[in-house]
Amino acid sequence: MTREVSFHSDASAEYEAAFEWYLRRSGFVASRFADEINRAIATISEAPGRWPVTGPGVRRFLLQRFPFAIFYRERESTIEVLAVAHGHRKPRYWAKRV
């Protein structure tokens, strides 16, 4: 059973900024990035407990082809994406969103 996924507003902004960055360089690469994010969200939705816990109630899904991780938490009826974080950013900068 898949669960609905929602994005924290800052996570949405991070995704959009990353997509725009890739789009300025290559429409093809931006499309691949969006596809990988969409696949990741679908995979998380199907089995949210599958990925490692990185903080109190927070899990991390690493993208395969891009240097990003999706940090999320399970809510009562949904999954909330807290961050679409670049791997070279300051660690846990998003932790205040929990």
Is the full-model pTM beyond 0.95?
no
> What pLDDT does 59 receive?
97
What is the domain count for the chain?
A: 1
Domain membership of residue 14 (yes or no) is yes
Q: What is the pLDDT of residue 90?
A: 77
In a domain, 98, yes or no: no
Q: Identify the segments of the chain with pLDDT beneath 70.
A: 1, 93, 96
In a domain, 81, yes or no: yes
79 domain residue, yes or no: yes
Report the residue count for the chain.
Answer: 98
Residue 89's pLDDT is what? 75
Cβ contacts of residue 7 below 8 Å, gap of 6+? 15, 80, 81
Quote the pLDDT of residue 93: 64
User: Looking at the domain assignment, is residue 32 inside a domain?
Assistant: yes
CATH of the domain at 9: 3.30.2310.20
- Which residue range forms the structural domain that includes residue 21? 4-89
